Amino acid sequence: MKILHVTAEYFPYIKAGGLADMVASLSKAQADEHSVYVALPLVKNLGKEPNWTGKTYTCYDPNGLSAISSASKHLREAQFREAKEGNCLLYFFESPFFSSKEFIYETGEEQYHFALFSYACHFLAEQVRADVLHAHDWHTAITVALQLYNPKPIPSVFTIHNLAYQGDFPYWKVGFLTEEPFHLVPSAFDHDGKCNFLKAGIVACDQLTTVSPGYKIETLQEPGGFGLSYILQKKGNRYLGILNGIDSDVWNPNSDPYLKTKFSSHNWKQGKTAAKKELYSKIGRPQISLNRPLLGLIGRLTYQKGYPSYVRAYQERRHLPFFHLALGAGDSELEQTFFHLSHTEPEQFYFYRGYSEELSHLIEAASDFFLMPSLFEPCGLNQMYSQVYGTVPIVSRVGGLKDTVFESGIHAQTGFVFEPNDSDSLGYALERAHTLYLSDKHDIVVKNMMSLDWSWTSPKKQYIQIYQNAISEKI
């Protein structure tokens, strides 16, 4: 099967969050058996230099584009540059609108930039003769919407990675959609008086997915649907939640290039202690005892991630001996709170503001526990990375977190679960984690976690089935 993924993020080239990891690892897993193409924007600061093949592709049909709109002119100025990544072929959309961007999501005319990219992807799908088009999130939804008016529509799958980001714009900002080459009717994608790109992808796609079964259920009711539950319900059995897999070449303590001492389930204690030592020396806190439990946190500092309840629990449970280590950037008030703790309580708390792949691997390896207090979480990846690194996740009972972390019940214990937005419940989970740390059961929980299989083997089969469903709808 020829599969074209269309995405704004792709690890390690462009990454803001889990979308990058998901598309990169899914496409890599699919490329074992299928022809996989990935279209992504070419931004200024790529995380890695692409392995260019020298081939280029146009972004418009010269016979079909008569000429005068700005979008037509901008598509003429753009091109796709092909590169090889493992068994996948990547198509970088080269346009001045992206090549000047330091970061993929900058404020500005994002609706126009991503619509141009989406149109170009629609034409690329025809050039590579894709059997199926798989678009991710609102940035690429217009590629799917264009299939509504395509005389030979390409079967399409649309994946929602986070309903909190919908790409909704006042009509005066999307007038270009009515012109050449789009010829779309923005009011067809109306939600609350705005043109909603995510809704366009949802209504237009043949098959819709999101990134965990638990999150799918939450999105079918408000407030989990962020206002779109009514339209999601209409998709019926054409809407499925498929849990993300992880890339075990990137996230594997036994081969992780960021770790000096690799480890597996046989020698995790030595491996994690070595990582802790290295981490403490790297952050300038070598005096912190290696015997104290380390609690790691990594993430975008946004409303979604629920950190305020963590800060309350931290202040209420000072008797617990955790050393807290947070990595992230975002909301300035939260950054200031974390900075304040880092400076005033250096024996308890350390905060690194920014983005660091290296530090994120080291934190996963060194931590004894990893906290994710999200208010909602479509899938979440760090809880799974934690488990394979022998780091016990402590998570709120939401979305993909509750699908992957179990504290009690029929499943073997693989973490701790508490109620979202509840500092008492979170604090009590920290108490239970500390008790585990002191007991022999810690070894059992680590063994349980390190034997979990979060590979793409099963989810990639589900995606192929979805693609086949999309194809058969078009026959």
Residues that bind ligand ADP (CB under 6 A): 17-19, 21, 298-300, 327-329, 355-357, 360, 379-382
Nearer to ligand ADP by Cβ, of 29 and 381: the residue is 381
Least distance between ligand ADP and beta carbon 356 (Å): 5
Least distance between ligand ADP and beta carbon 21 (Å): 5
Nearer to ligand ADP by Cβ, of 21 and 168: the residue is 21
In terms of C-beta density within 10 A (0-12 exposed, 13-18 middle, 19 or more buried), how is residue 96 classed? exposed
Q: In the block, which residue shows the tokens 């959309």?
A: 93
Least distance between ligand ADP and beta carbon 341 (Å): 17
**β partners of residue 194:** 191
Q: Using omega within 30 degrees of 0 as the cis cutoff, is the peptide bond preceding 378 cis?
A: no
Both structure tokens of 270: 């030595």
**Please, are residues 178 and 170 in contact by the beta-carbon 8 Å criterion?**
no
Nearer to ligand ADP by Cβ, of 11 and 123: the residue is 11
For residue 114, the surrounding DSSP H or E stretch is helix 110-127
Least distance between ligand ADP and beta carbon 15 (Å): 7
**Please, are residues 276 and 294 in contact by the beta-carbon 8 Å criterion?**
yes
Nearer to ligand ADP by Cβ, of 237 and 332: the residue is 332
The Cα–Cα gap between 254 and 388 comes to 10
Nearer to ligand ADP by Cβ, of 244 and 448: the residue is 244
The Cα–Cα gap between 27 and 4 comes to 9
Least distance between ligand ADP and beta carbon 405 (Å): 13
The Cα–Cα gap between 50 and 90 comes to 9
Least distance between ligand ADP and beta carbon 472 (Å): 31
Nearer to ligand ADP by Cβ, of 97 and 352: the residue is 352
Contacts of 370 (CB under 8 A, 6+ apart): 295, 296, 297, 298, 363, 364, 382, 383, 386, 391, 392, 393, 394
Nearer to ligand ADP by Cβ, of 65 and 211: the residue is 211
The Cα–Cα gap between 321 and 326 comes to 16
Both structure tokens of 267: 């020698």
Least distance between ligand ADP and beta carbon 380 (Å): 4
Nearer to ligand ADP by Cβ, of 52 and 103: the residue is 103
Helix (H, G, I), strand (E, B) or coil at 64: coil
**Nearest residue to ligand ADP, using CB?**
18
**Please, are residues 240 and 216 in contact by the beta-carbon 8 Å criterion?**
yes
Least distance between ligand ADP and beta carbon 18 (Å): 2
